[in-house]
Chains A and B, each alone.
Chain A
Amino acid sequence: MRPRRPKLRDELVTLAHGAGGKSTRALVEGLFLEELHNPLLAPLSDSALLDLDGSRLAFTTDSYVVKPIFFPGGDIGDLAVNGTVNDLAVSGARPLALSAGFVIEEGLAVADLRRVAASMARAAAAAGVPVATGDTKVVERGKADGVYVTTAGIGLVAPGVELGPERVAAGDRVLVSGTIGDHGTAVMVARGELELEVDLESDTAPVHELALALLALGGAVRWMRDPTRGGLATALNELAQAADVAVSLDEGALPLRPAVIGTCEILGIDPLYVASEGRLVAVVAGDAADQALAILRSHPLGADAAIVGTVRADPQGLVLLETSLGGSRVVDMLVGDPLPRIC
């Protein structure tokens, strides 16, 4: 059964439309894709691929509204750089340049803004990519939450790199480059509304080196994604539906920090849906999985990498979880829970 394109039936935009799950998909596909429809946008992948006289340019953009703007392990500045670098990286591209747009709230401390800009500079230098152009706007107090940042990026896809859901087939394996849900959990705790004391940092980091290292495996690498908003579950559901395959996850193999498990348990949240900002999820040919794992683990950012699942032919379009107890369940798309702004 092939999913129909979701319809946007709501009269008003609610926070559920921003949560990364089904409502977000309805907003993107039922409104933006409908109005802006064109062949570059239609695949709704992390980056659009533009053909320029035989060179392939990856082009992507993302907005950041995280609250608070400073959190353990990062801030809105490095998050905005890493997020866009990662969208390029998982498209198989080497990042070339970024843009940054700032919507700043009247009253924001200049020292805070400088701290954000300095953090962007450090992240950009670490990723070896300049912030080449930008824009600033200031709005009245109360009209934005400190600062919102939008970054866009371009990157070059090397000849021969072919990634996409259509290349994924039964027997392929699913890998993640590290623990999942660290960023989302760290930010939720940092908001201070839960009065939880948890020792946990965001995982925000650029994954382009990991991605490029994996691409050395050539055609054995089928598809990559950074599991941000909506987490691993959402990324894999989108894959299962786009590729008409099933993805079977092994609960016992999922790399999860105890602090993430504990916090999510208390909040009643499934870490499979919680964002990471410095991880990549890759699908590789079954016989290349061990090699891919070794490549990821040889990099400091991939030390906790794991093979977490297998692609199957059936049931098409679904993600399943084999539980540690020996049962199984469906891992559906997130239904718009009003989770706080985490990216």
Chain B
Amino acid sequence: MKYVDEFRSGELAKALVHELDGLVEPGRALKVMEVCGGHTHAIYKHGLEDLVPPEIDFVHGPGCPVCVIPMGRVDDAISLAERPEVIFATFGDMMRVPGGRGSLLEAKARGADVRMVYSPLDALELARRNPEREVIFFAIGFETTAPATAVTLLRARADGVRNFSAFCNHVTIGPPLKAILDSPGLQLDAFIAPGHVSTVVGTRPYDFIVRDYGKPVVVTAFEPIDILHATVMLVRQLREGRCEVENQYTRVVRRDGNPRALAALDETMELRDTFEWRGLGWIEASALRLRPEFAAWDAEARFELPGTRIEDPKACQCGEVLIGAIKPWECKVFGTACTPERPIGTCMVSSEGACAAYYNYGRLDTRRDRVPA
């Protein structure tokens, strides 16, 4: 495929791995957190852990937007979806995420009108085509997907579409990283920072990681060559005693991000005081809600929500997986009680979740505890 093949070249990979071999100190383990689920997915899909020197340990971070949605919010979504007048539009990944009382897929089987969409604009189109129904879009994701929701809201207002609203669960990338860096006993050496979200927010939101915590950061694209290249850049920083935010994804990411996307976000959304994260708990100023001016398109303002908070299941160690304290397969229920077809924790649901990536793509040595289906 044009424009992608060169980022999957076996020759380039070999050269980068050779460079890495020369850079790592034999026997000194380096824990590199890839923040974004897209990176986790790519690392497994392309078998990168087989290629890098054994000293390099990829730790999978909290950047899977599906995985961080707490069960209570899923129940809120289901209660919205079960209203008879509602068409509930969601990304496919959210369909199987378990709440306290099942998933959206199960709600759909019970009769709720749940539709899978690929973009919030598709949901707006659904609203136009079904003027007698209320279309609610399940808005999830970091600043990557939030601008699309923002643009959709702006268009709904401009066109006077009144039967459309968003159930906003957008989150921001900085606060959970800080939460992870503040967690006791954390042993991370460097960060592979997310690429897509940085196209919007730029590279400045990561400055505090170098400044306050002394950990190198490389903003990274999603092809296997990109990830290997970023790993080389990080190890080189460590070897040379530098600590900087570097940008590997220069073909797209700018230092100041995308001003138009940020402006659309700012026009439609504002920070919440606090928001609950799956596995990480309540984090201040870590999520977005619609501004009061958009109350007419805000599902939280327009519909009654149960708002019940549900604790993460005790057996589930998603929280420890999300901060990189344990590997997915070290979780007590991984592959036994918790599998992609019957997930307990959200990390097992999305293809970007660390647990699902391990389960679906995992190497054999991580499968030793696995019970076949």
Contact = CB atoms under 8 A, between A and B. Distances in A.
- Bind each other: yes
Given A323-B46, A324-B10, A338-B105, A12 B110 contact: yes
Nearest to A335: B340
A317 B370 CA distance: 12
Nearest to B362: A330
A193 B363 contact: no
Central interface residue in A6, A21, A22, A330, by most chain B CB within 10 Å: A330
A327 B46 contact: yes
Contact of B96 (A13, A16, A258): A16
Given A265-B1, A338-B92, A325 B361 contact: no
B275 interface: no
A332 B359 contact: yes
B8 A325 contact: yes
Contacts of B8: 324-325
Interface stretch (B48-56, B155-163, B239-247): B48-56
Given A325-B47, A330-B364, A16 B373 contact: no
Interface residues of B, number: 41
A321 B118 CA distance: 28
Q: State the main secondary structure of chain A at its contact with B.
A: loop
B122 interface: yes
A262 interface: yes
Interface string A315-327: 1011011011111
4 closest A-B pairs by CB: A327-B47, A3-B372, A335-B340, A327-B50
Contacts of B116: 338
B108 A325 contact: no
Given A333-B373, A338-B95, A327 B49 contact: yes
Contacts of B48: 325, 327
B361 A330 contact: yes
23 contacts: A4-B373, A9-B342, A12-B109, A12-B110, A14-B105, A14-B108, A15-B109, A16-B105, A21-B341, A22-B341, A318-B364, A325-B224, A326-B10, A326-B50, A327-B46, A327-B48, A328-B363, A330-B363, A330-B367, A332-B361, A333-B373, A338-B95, A338-B105
A328 B50 contact: yes
A1 interface: yes
Interface string A187-204: 000000110000000000
Contacts of B356: 335
Contacts of B189: none
**Taking chain B's interface residues, is the majority helix, strand, or loop, or is none over half, making it mixed?**
helix
A12 B106 contact: yes
B193 to A, nearest CB: 21
B51 to A, nearest CB: 5
Interface string B37-69: 000000011111111000000000000000000
Given A326-B51, A328-B47, A332-B360, 14 more contacts: A1-B372, A4-B373, A12-B109, A15-B108, A16-B96, A317-B372, A323-B45, A326-B14, A327-B46, A329-B46, A329-B361, A330-B361, A332-B359, A335-B360
Given A9-B342, A335-B340, A329 B47 contact: yes
Nearest to A12: B109
Contacts of A6: 373
Residue from B95, B122, B372 with most neighbouring chain A CB atoms (10 Å): B372
B372 A23 contact: no
A232 to B, nearest CB: 16
Interface string B320-358: 000000000000000000011110000000010000100
A317 B1 CA distance: 32
Interface string A240-270: 0100000000000000001001100101100
A264 to B, nearest CB: 10
A14 B116 CA distance: 14
Nearest to B114: A338
Contacts of B109: 12-15
B13 interface: yes
B355 to A, nearest CB: 12
Which of A2, A320, A327 has the most chain B CB atoms closer than 10 A to its own CB? A327
